Amino acid sequence: MINQSFEQRLLALHYVLPIPLNRLQPLLQVDPELEECERMHIHQLSRLLNLTHEKARKFKESYIKALGTPLIQAYITNNITPLPFNHPNYPKQLSTLYDPPTMLYAKGRLDYLVMDHHVAVIGARYASDYSKDAMAFILPPLVKHDVVIVSGLAKGADAMAHQFTHELGGKTIGVLGHGHFIRYPKENHALYDIMEKHHLTLSEYPPYVTPQKWYFLMRNRLISGLSRAVVVTEAKEKSGTVNTIQHALDNGKDVYCVPGPITSLLSLGPNQSLLEGAKPVWNGYQIIEELQGITARK
C-alpha cells in the first residue's frame, strides 16, 4: 500500500528536481519518508543531492512551495497517473536499471505496464518504406500473440510502429522524452490522440518539461528497459537508435536487426549491430519463438 503522504512529498520533490532514483537515494537513505527534507540545512541538501549551494537553496524554496500545490489533483484532472518507484504498477524491469526513474507519469492504459511481454520496435526518424515493409512481416505475429509494442513516439519508424500496431488491433506504449503537456514532434499530433485514447504514453518527466536533446537519450534506456527484446528496422551508424541498442545490450536484452541493403546509409546501424552480435530478423515469429522459450524456462 502506498503511503499517500510520502507520495505527495515525492511528487513535490520530483516536480522541482526530476532526477533518476540513483541520484535521489542518498537523500532517501537519510530521510526515507521525506519528512525532514523541507527543514534540512542547505549544506546538507547540497551534499545529499549533489547540487551547488545556490541550486540547493533554490531547490528548497521551490520544494516548500510545491508542497502546498495540489499536484495529484492537477494530474488527475489531466488524466495523468503518477507512478512512484514503489507503486505496484511501476514496471519491475525498470528497477534493475542503474538509474531507474524516480517517478513515471502515465496516460492511458496502465494495464499495458503489467502485461507479460514487451518488445521495442524502433528505427530512424527519416525511415524509408523499407521500415514499413519490414514491420509488415514483424508486427502481425507479435500483435497476434498479445505482445505490447514499445517505441519512442518520434517521427519516422517510431510513428510507423505505433500506427501499424494500432491498425492491427494491438497494444502499444509510447515513451516520451518530455512531459505530457507537450506534443512533440508536431507531425505526430493526431497519433498522440490515438495513443492517449486507446493505448499508453509514458514519461519520467513532470508534465511541464519541454523536449531537450539529452532527455531523448535518457528516454532510450526506458524503451529498452521496458522491453524483453529490441527490434531495429533502419538506423544511421551514429544515432539515437544505436544508443538504444547499446542500452539494450548493456542490460542483457536481445537485439534483433533487419538486415538492410548495403547501398543505404540507414542500413549501416543495423548491419553494424549484426556484426557485433545482434540477431538478424525478417519475421515476427522468430521473436515469438524466443519469447515462448523464455516463458517456458521460467
The pLDDT, as a whole number, for residue 250 is 79
Strand partners of residue 148: 118, 171
pLDDT at 118 over 50: yes
| Check whether domain 108-297 has CATH 3.40.50.450, yes or no | yes
pLDDT at 29 over 50: yes
Strand partners of residue 215: none
pLDDT digits (tens, 9 = 90+) for 131-189: 999 999 999 999 999 999 999 999 999 999 999 999 999 999 999 999 999 999 999 99
Mean per-residue pLDDT over the chain, rounded: 93
The pLDDT, as a whole number, for residue 251 is 78
The pLDDT, as a whole number, for residue 286 is 95
pLDDT digits (tens, 9 = 90+) for 222-263: 999 999 999 999 998 877 777 888 878 877 889 999 999 999
The pLDDT, as a whole number, for residue 253 is 87
Average pLDDT on 210-230 reads 93
Buried b vs exposed e over 242-281: b needs ≥16 C-beta within 10 Å? bbbbbbbbebebbbbbbebeeeeebbbbbbbbbeeebeeb
The pLDDT, as a whole number, for residue 2 is 59
pLDDT digits (tens, 9 = 90+) for 106-115: 999 999 999 9
pLDDT digits (tens, 9 = 90+) for 46-70: 999 999 999 999 999 999 999 999 9
- Reported as a pLDDT band with limits 50, 70 and 90, residue 298 is very low
pLDDT at 129 over 60: yes
**Distance between CA atoms of residues 275 and 242, nearest Å:** 13
Provide the residue ranges of all domains of the chain, joining segments of one domain with +.
4-77, 108-297
12, 36, 52, 294 from 9: Cα distances, Å: 5, 10, 22, 39
- Reported as a pLDDT band with limits 50, 70 and 90, residue 296 is very low
pLDDT at 1 over 60: no
